[in-house]
């Protein structure tokens, strides 16, 4: 869960930063801001899951900041010294409303509630994409949701050249010379891509058969990104049979 801290007092930012690191280690702090304009810039740049927002600032309020953003596609936890803003905070669907000085239990509770809401949003996105894929199965324009450190990246299956297992994670290599590192292991990607003409020639590799350039008799495959992928000896016959059926 990524977060931005917005407060005009650096002492308050440092205090909240320390409390989050001690009591809410699941929160990755991407940055902080001390004004409305800097706060808007930080949100647009980092696209966080969660924003801790002070209400009273010299050039306006936290509500003014929210009104200037094009989309409120993140969870909000207001942090304030006054109780008078509670009703206004509810209008913005804030997940939390914490009074200064911050109590650890209130902070933990608000962060846990935010995590639940964020997880629900991710699952809803996944479910919508799954329904779309079911309407047109095996289409290369179908997209899969790939979990990353920033959230969920939706990628068309036809843009995936290959996947490589790296230290319990998976590196997904795309046609545009970009790659994504996902917390899913390679086995999870096999389940997602098996119906899209993908094959695992080796325990550490999953490839798109549509992106094969050449097969070498020595037991290697050249992919469209120029990478050479090994074929396990016990899978060579199966691989050749599969290629002849394409």
Confidence (pLDDT) at 84: 63
CATH numeric code, 140-244: 2.40.50.1020
169-174 and 179-182 beta bridge pairing? antiparallel
**Domain limits, the chain:** 2-121, 140-244
Confidence (pLDDT) at 126: 64
Q: Is the pTM of this model over 0.95?
A: no
**pLDDT per residue of the chain (246 residues) written in tens, 0 to 9:** 899 999 999 999 999 999 999 999 999 999 999 999 999 999 999 999 999 998 888 788 888 898 898 888 888 898 887 766 554 555 455 567 788 889 898 899 889 888 888 887 766 666 666 556 655 666 777 888 888 776 778 889 999 999 999 988 999 999 988 899 998 889 989 988 888 889 999 999 999 999 999 999 889 999 999 999 999 999 999 998 888 776
The reply to whether domains 2-121 and 140-244 share a CATH topology is no
Write the class of the CATH domain 2-121. alpha beta
Q: What gap in Å lies between CA 62 and CA 101, rounded to an integer?
A: 18
Strand-pairing partners, residue 143, are 156
Yes or no: say if 63 and 92 are a contact pair by the CB < 8 Å rule: yes
Long-range contacts of 44-47 (CB under 8 A, 24+ apart): 44/69, 46/2, 46/4, 47/73, 47/74, 47/150
Confidence (pLDDT) at 125: 67
Confidence (pLDDT) at 159: 94
Yes or no: say if 119 and 50 are a contact pair by the CB < 8 Å rule: no
Confidence (pLDDT) at 45: 92
Q: What gap in Å lies between CA 104 and CA 24, rounded to an integer?
A: 10
Yes or no: say if 160 and 184 are a contact pair by the CB < 8 Å rule: no
Length of the chain: 246
Nearest by Cα to 197 from 187, 177, 180, 211: 211
Confidence (pLDDT) at 135: 57
Confidence (pLDDT) at 134: 56
Long-range contacts of 169-172 (CB under 8 A, 24+ apart): 172/146
Confidence (pLDDT) at 124: 66
Confidence (pLDDT) at 132: 62
Confidence (pLDDT) at 33: 95
Q: For the chain, what is the radius of gyration of the CA atoms?
A: 23
Q: What gap in Å lies between CA 20 and CA 41, rounded to an integer?
A: 22
Yes or no: say if 129 and 147 are a contact pair by the CB < 8 Å rule: no
């Amino acid at each position: 869960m990524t977060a931005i801290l917005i407060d005009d007092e650096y002492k308050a930012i440092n205090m909240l930063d320390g409390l989050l690191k001690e009591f809410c280690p699941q929160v990755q702090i991407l940055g902080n801001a001390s004004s409305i304009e800097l706060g808007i810039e930080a949100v647009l740049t980092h696209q966080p899951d969660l924003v801790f927002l002070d209400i009273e600032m010299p050039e306006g309020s936290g509500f003014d900041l929210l009104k200037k953003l094009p989309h409120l596609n993140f969870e909000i936890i207001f942090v304030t010294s006054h109780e008078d803003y509670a009703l206004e905070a509810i209008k913005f669907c804030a997940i939390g409303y914490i009074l200064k000085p911050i109590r650890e239990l209130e902070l933990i509770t608000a962060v846990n509630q935010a995590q639940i809401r964020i997880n629900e949003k991710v699952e809803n996105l996944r479910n919508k994409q799954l329904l779309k894929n079911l309407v047109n199965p095996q289409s290369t324009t179908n997209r899969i949701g790939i979990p990353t450190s920033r959230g969920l990246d939706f990628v068309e299956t036809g843009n995936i050249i290959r996947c490589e297992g790296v230290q319990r994670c998976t590196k997904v290599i795309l046609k545009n010379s970009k790659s994504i590192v996902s917390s899913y292991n390679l086995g999870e990607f096999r389940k997602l891509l098996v119906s899209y003409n993908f094959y695992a020639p080796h325990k550490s590799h999953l490839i798109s058969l549509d992106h094969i350039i050449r097969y070498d008799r020595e037991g290697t495959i050249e992919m469209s990104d120029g990478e050479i992928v090994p074929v396990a000896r016990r899978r060579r016959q199966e691989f050749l049979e599969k290629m002849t059926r394409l």
